[in-house]
Structure 1
Amino acid sequence: MTRKDTTHILLRLHPSPIRRFTGVAMLVVFGIMAAVAGLESPPDRMALRLGLPLVGLGLVWMAWQTWKATARGLELTPDALRETDGGRVLARVEQIASVDNSAIALFKPAGGFVITLKETAPAGWASGLWWRFGRKVGVGGTTARVEAKQMAAMLAEMARRRRA
């Protein structure tokens, strides 16, 4: 399947514009607040004067990374879950051991779900969209809850059929 072929895409999951803007705006505001607090701290507190502006810069950098990452979305094909542009594969269907979108799922992103893989995979991260560490893949954060739930259900069913 070539990158231009979109006939085999089963579902698409795009970030919600409101969640995307809100998440980025919160990171920027907290970054500015941290930097200002550091610059206004007393001169005898040198650790705060240097540390808080660095934390603020880190938060603004994270906001930029989130804005870039959430410009993309995710696609579910019969073979894999991947990013829309570039086609970076998050998980292949045959690697999926389970999909959990319950309210008590550990490390589940907001409005998303967690995939447990059969084997460890290289770590990866797209802030606000997905993360992968060890055997776990978290999808969500800025995505719409209903669309993520549909994708989780379809992924779980596809993995169950592959195992059978």
Structure 2
Amino acid sequence: MTDPDEPIAILRVSRARRVFSVAVQVALGLLLIWVALTLPERQLLIQALLAILGAGALWQAAAVWRATGTDVVLTRGGLRDSAGRTIADLDRIEAVQRGAFAFKPSNGFSLKLTEPAPRAWVPGVWWRLGTRVGVGGATSGKAARQMADVIALMKAGHFPD
């Protein structure tokens, strides 16, 4: 018998995607703050709104940087992240959806669960809302497709022990 916690597949965020996604959000935040500070007419309400949006974009960039440092790990028990959080147990996965019109992250796939799970969000890596789980975003599309295929094989009973 094999170890149920042994990784079958690991979905990582590449360093280039991680840096690019954070750099775009930092640039947006700095641009919004710069516009707020350099408005020709002193309109305090608009300046405050732009500054708050800019600070929010910078906060989100920091959250994405922390989140994209985690990996998604598929084991015989289900999906976990490298921080130890359970994303979805294999016995609770009803279906894997990865088609063009599926509600899923870009470069990723979604799972339909048999029962609702607590909401969770790891920006750029995975999210969970009710009976839906989305995996992907800043990840490699090819690696996400491969992981989705392995999950589908496991659910169909075609994955060897």
**SS of equivalent to 1:133:** strand
- 1:90 and 2:49 aligned: no
The Cα offsets for residues 36-77 of structure 1, whole Å up to 9 and x where unpaired, read as 11222221x222110111111111111111111111101100
- The percent of aligned pairs where both chains have the same amino acid is 35
The Cα offsets for residues 86-112 of structure 1, whole Å up to 9 and x where unpaired, read as x10000011111111112112x11111
1:136 corresponding residue in structure 2? 132
User: How far 1:161 moved relative to its partner?
Assistant: 2.6
Q: Structure 2 vs 1, CA of residues 117 and 7 (structure 1 numbering), >3 Å: closer, same or farther?
A: closer
Q: CA RMSD in A?
A: 1.7
Contact 2:72 2:79 in 1 (8 A): yes
User: How far 1:154 moved relative to its partner?
Assistant: 0.8
After TM superposition, the structure 1 = structure 2 runs for residues 97-116 of structure 1, keeping only pairs within 5 Å, are 97-106=94-103, 108-116=104-112
**SS of equivalent to 1:19:** helix
Q: Is there any run of 5+ residues in structure 1 with no aligned partner, and where?
A: none
**SS of equivalent to 1:123:** strand
After TM superposition, the structure 1 = structure 2 runs for residues 28-43 of structure 1, keeping only pairs within 5 Å, are 28-41=26-39, 42-43=41-42
Contact 2:5 2:75 in 1 (8 A): no
Write the distance in 2 (CA, Å) between the matches of 1:17 and 1:103. 26
User: How far 1:33 moved relative to its partner?
Assistant: 0.8
2:71 corresponding residue in structure 1? 73
Aligned length: 155
